[in-house]
Each structure stands twice: as C-alpha cells, then as structure tokens.
Chains A and B, each alone.
Chain A
C-alpha cells in the first residue's frame, strides 16, 4: 500500500523535528528546501507502506518519539523510510553552514567523562529498543498484517 506524496508543510514539520532530534538546532530555510527537494528527486517521496507511514508519523511528534522510533528501527527496520529520511537530513546538515559546525565539533570533556556519557547513552539506547519492542512492534505487526490483507483484497475489488 502506497500513500500519497507528502506536501511541503508536512515535510517542513518533519525536517524541523528531525533536525532538533539529530543536532538540537532548528533547520534554516536552506536545509528545509534541500529536504523537500530530496523528497521530490528520490524514492523518499513515497511514505512507504502503512507500517512506514506509522513510524514516520509517530517519529514526527517530537524529539523523544523520534529517538524511540530511531532506536527501534536501527535494530528491527534498518532500511525503513524513516532511517533513510534521518540519514538524508544528516547528509544535508553536514554539507552546509551553520549546522556542519556542530557535527565537526567535539565535546569539551575529559576522556573519562566522555566514556561515562557514552555508557549512559548506550544504556538509554537499549532501554528505548525495549520500549520500541513493547509499544511499536505490536502495532507494526498489525499494520503489516492488514497491509497484506489489503493487497489480497485489491485484485478482487480494484
């Protein structure tokens, strides 16, 4: 099942939420424009199947929901449209000012502190994957199931 191509307003909103999530900054007009353009020239223009659409919709609510869905898709749906959108946005952010500066910078902490912070973030990642399994996986399975039913139903009624 394919959904309609996304309109500019929806893409701008997505871009803003995902940008806040990735680097903690608001995207400027240039980043939004490139994000929209990429959706017009690549397979990202389609929202994918119903499960993809669901993941993108939930991820688009806010930074925390993006983080949960990102952690979940990293493990269970690494090639999902959401991951592609996030990677695409990351590519745009690293290519232009002022956002590249964040990606090129380092945390001014000592090595032990960096290590502790990394351990903390890894633990959060594991926790979020578990949350994803409990909350997201059942919904995704239902949607995938219904999509199959829909495809089965199409030839007879379409």
Chain B
C-alpha cells in the first residue's frame, strides 16, 4: 500500500485519514497540533463551575484577563472563551498581508472546527450545480460522516433546503425561548412560507442525544461554548484520537509544513516541514500527498512549492467566504422570564429563505442567549452600567441572535498569492478580497425580509445593533484550486486530484467551486470521505 502524507488535522484531514486507514493505507499526518487544557470538573453544570472552581475568574476570563471585553476593544468580537484561545493563536513566522479580508487561521489539533458551533447542513443538488458531482454521489459520504460524528435532526420544513440523510439521532431538548419561536412559526407559517419564502425548523447539530463510541450523550450542562466535557459535542480531535488507535497511522505534531518537492515529471517526492522544537527543516518522503490544511494554508503550501521549485509567483483566484450578518433581537414574550442555563447553548433552530435562484437562498441560524459572558453585551447598552444591568437581567432570557449567511461565488479579483518583500526573506502570503458591487443592496433587501420574519415571531430588532461581519469572519474559506471538468492549470479533477501534480490531492475546501449560504464543515468532511473512497 502507498504511503500517504496528510497535512493538517482539521475536519477534512481527519475524515480523509480515517477512511484511508480503514482501507489499509499507511498514513502520516503532519500538523502544528496545538492543544488546549483538559476539561475541568466534568460533571459540573455551567452555573456550578462558578462555585466549585477554585479560581472561576481565571477559567471564564483567563489568567491574564484576556477574556475581558473592555470598552475600547476594536477588533471583531468572536466570543471565544480563554479555554479555546489556543485554536486561533498565532504562529511565529507566519506572515499574511490582507486587503478586504480578515482571515482566522488555526494551528490547533483538530483545526478551526475545534471552536465551531456544530451546524451540519448537507448541500442539495441546486447548491452542487457548480460541483462535478450530484447529491446522490456524495449522499453515502454524508451518511458515513453522520455515523462517525453523531448528528441530531428531524424531517421538517427545512428539509426542502437540506436533504435528509441516514444516521440522524433524535433532536436535542429545546430551550424555552427556541420552543416559543418554533410555536410562533407554526401559527404564522402560511404567511411566512407564502409571502416571505421563509421556512423554519430544527438545526442539524453535531451533538449526541445517544451514547456513541465511548462518548456520552448531551446532559445539558450548559457548557457547549466553554468546551463540552463529555464529548457529546463533536470536534475533529475526537476523530483524530480514533485515527491514533490504528497501527498504520503516525501523527507527527509540532511541524509547520513549508512546501513539497517535485521532480521533472511533476511528481511529488517529499514534503518539507519546519520543526517547532528546534526550528530545523525535515523532509518526509511520500507516495501521495493530501493537503488538508484549510484553504488559506493549503493555498500557501501550493504557492510556496511552485516558488521554491521555479521562482515563479503564482496567483490563485476565486477565494470565497460566506458574508455573515448578525441580527440581535428581543422576543417580547420572553421579557421578565428567568433564563435556563441547563440547556444546549448553540443554535437549536435555523431558517431558510428562498431566493429566485439557488444563489439567492439565505440561511439563518437562530441562537438564543444563555451562558455566554454578559459583560460584552451590558456595556453596549446606551445607559449607565447600573441601569444597563437592571435592564439586561430582565431581558436576558428574551435575547437572541440571527446569524445570516450569504453565498459566495468565485471571482478573479479575489485571490491568494505570495509577495516578495526582499530577496533574503521568505515570501509573505497575500490575500485580496473585494465584495460584489451589488452586495450592499442584497444585504439590505435580506435584512428587510429577516426583520419582517422576526416581527411575525413577535420579536423586535433593537435599532443600530445589526452588525455586518468582515469578510473572513465566517471561516468558511474555499475555492482557490477548484474541482473542474475542464483540464486546466490550478484546478483539480472531480476526485480532487491536482491537474498540476499527479500524486497531489487537495481534500479541504480549497477545491469547492461554489460556496452556498450554509455551514460548509459537514460537506468538507463528506467530500474528504468521497475522495478517499473514489480515488484510493
């Protein structure tokens, strides 16, 4: 069997690896592989931690108080708790210059999805129209991934946008606020469906409602955001640990992959990586290489390899990302009620709004506020803090947030390339992104519809609180070396085999030729399984 080297341990990499391991391949996974702290007091509920921990402020705010959101905080607020800060921590020497794009990169074991919110939504045939395969071709892989990670969901009004696949577990217990929104939807369904094209249903979530493979089902500790201590909430490190049980698997952490080497026939011979222990470069021979480092890092390795071999600075056009708009709302029926921290914390309901074409579809995730830190919200109320606290206490259970996702298409002026600053230093990665010229109008139109939907659900949107996130914030990057049926440079075949290097496979979002308005992670995992099944 060939030796396959995989770069990256994120959602794509681990599922690709697991499929190959089951087929008997020798797999070496190279990774920076940063890890976080182990979960504390595993049986405690969120609320109990404030009493049971010896230093609760250090847990919730960080030893250095880096989790405190002070009034002059200028960057985009992601609400990542200190325990998950390692997922986004920088790497010395990794330089990236950006214009119009604020990428979030991860060098963590398990990648960016170590800090995801668990939404798993299969693409339908409309959304796969730009892909060189149909839903029926990838459906078995969705089924397989669902079996591996555990997904809850039901057949409901959202099924028209996201097909039902096998191995779905029963849904999670709804929190009071989400249940109220759903019941209101049932009352207003005819209007919402027919006039606004809006359909609401249960989120598909990568969280267990039944014990599975040594993982415990969700027991509603309210700690999802802070790191599920029971493994009920899926993260790729769970699959990585499963890979580690195979004798034909070797995981090599603390390595930063620089580039691959290839011969005159453009066959890859080895991959070069820098050890983070001693800063020396090491070379790993290979039969086949699979890049799964995430679109930005995979593009960097691809570009750097060409540069190291020929001095050429290539450009990869077509970078895509979902524009996201955050719409806070207050549910009038929930004012004055006490919030329940003993519930699932991320979005439990989602909505889809039909467009005239598949590209006009809008996908919204509805999160009701529970155990997130509250001081970042209270300080933004335009009153003194004491009055703001008083107001917030009575609004807490009534607050929610819609995360509205927009699709993106590949365009030539959105690209990744390298830039030489001087002859002696390594080239820096450059990312350029420009939104579509009609984007502002599209967003405004969508917001009008979403506000009408919320009004029908007896919710109001506080004025001035809607936030258009910068490009890069959704972390759904894709599209720079797309799958294509046409044999041209810087593309891959339908099984993600590079058209430039025969023994190179690109198994992450880099190959997606279109980005629907949906969470991409489930399809990343399923596509990685599809490549392993079809090409190996």
- Mutual binders A and B: yes
Q: Which of B50, B71, B374 contacts A97 (CB 8 A)?
A: B50
If A74-B383, A125-B387 touch, whether A100 touches B72 (CB-CB below 8 Å) is no
Are the CB atoms of B389 and A23 closer together than 8 Å? yes
Q: How many residues of A contact B (CB 8 A)?
A: 44
Q: Which of A41, A103, A125 contacts B389 (CB 8 A)?
A: A103
Are the CB atoms of B70 and A88 closer together than 8 Å? yes
Are the CB atoms of A114 and B394 closer together than 8 Å? yes
Q: Does B425 lie at the interface of the complex (its beta carbon under 8 Å from any beta carbon of A)? A: no
Query: CA of A135 to CA of B397 in the docked complex: distance in angstroms?
Result: 38
Are the CB atoms of A92 and B379 closer together than 8 Å? no
Are the CB atoms of A86 and B389 closer together than 8 Å? no
What A residues does B375 contact at CB under 8 A?
A: 87, 90-91, 94
Are the CB atoms of A96 and B56 closer together than 8 Å? yes
What A residues does B56 contact at CB under 8 A?
A: 95-97
If A41-B64, A84-B71, A111-B335 touch, whether A106 touches B394 (CB-CB below 8 Å) is yes
If A91-B375, A122-B383, A122-B387 touch, whether A107 touches B70 (CB-CB below 8 Å) is no
A67-96: which residues lie under 8 A (CB-CB) from chain B?
67, 70-71, 74, 78-79, 83-84, 86-88, 90-92, 94-96
Are the CB atoms of A78 and B64 closer together than 8 Å? no
Q: Which of B67, B378, B396 contacts A90 (CB 8 A)?
A: B378
**Minimum Cβ distance to chain B for residue A7 (Å):** 20
Q: Does A21 lie at the interface of the complex (its beta carbon under 8 Å from any beta carbon of B)? A: yes
A11-45: which residues lie under 8 A (CB-CB) from chain B?
21-23, 30, 34, 37-38, 41-42
Query: CA of A122 to CA of B72 in the docked complex: distance in angstroms?
Result: 24
Q: Does B336 lie at the interface of the complex (its beta carbon under 8 Å from any beta carbon of A)? A: yes
Are the CB atoms of B71 and A79 closer together than 8 Å? yes
Q: How many residues of B contact A (CB 8 A)?
A: 40
What 0/1 readout, one digit per residue, does chain A (95-127) give for beta carbons within 8 Å of chain B?
111001001111101110010011001101100
What B residues does A103 contact at CB under 8 A?
A: 374, 389, 393
Are the CB atoms of A71 and B384 closer together than 8 Å? yes
**Minimum Cβ distance to chain B for residue A3 (Å):** 19
Q: Does A55 lie at the interface of the complex (its beta carbon under 8 Å from any beta carbon of B)? A: no
Q: Which of A67, A95, A125 contacts B57 (CB 8 A)?
A: A95
Q: Does B382 lie at the interface of the complex (its beta carbon under 8 Å from any beta carbon of A)? A: yes
Q: Does B465 lie at the interface of the complex (its beta carbon under 8 Å from any beta carbon of A)? A: no
Sorted nearest first, the 4 A-B pairs with minimum C-beta distance are: A95-B60, A79-B72, A97-B51, A71-B384
The 22 listed contacts between A and B (C-beta, < 8 Å) are A21-B386, A34-B57, A42-B65, A70-B384, A71-B384, A74-B385, A86-B385, A88-B70, A90-B389, A91-B61, A91-B69, A95-B57, A97-B56, A100-B47, A103-B393, A104-B341, A104-B393, A114-B336, A118-B390, A121-B383, A124-B387, A128-B384
